[in-house]
Amino acid sequence: MYEDKTLVCKDCGKEFVFTAGEQEFFAEKGFTNEPQRCKECRDAKKQAARAGRQMYTASCANCGKEAKVPFKPTEGRPVYCSECFANMRDE
């Protein structure tokens, strides 16, 4: 049903292939637009967004370890390290 398409990256101008498998994945997720950037440019854009994010340090309310979080902790609200947070989510 789907066939590989060659697209042009809007950032670097290189051609890249939008595979049939990727098209199927996009359709399953309900995405209607084709990607506009190649994988390298998408990854670079994500990395740049992460680099600009301010991180805050807090103590985990569960284990007491230092936790780095992307939001300013609020007095009276618990903060969890990634390990404790994942364990709580799995329960």
The answer to whether residues 80 and 60 touch, using CB atoms and an 8 Å cutoff, is yes
Give Cα separations from 65 to 56, 69, 76, 83 (angstroms).
14, 13, 17, 10
> What average pLDDT does range 37-46 have in this prediction?
95
Cβ atoms 31, 52 nearer than 8 A: no
Lowest mean pLDDT among 3-12, 35-44, 48-57: 48-57
Average pLDDT, the chain: 93
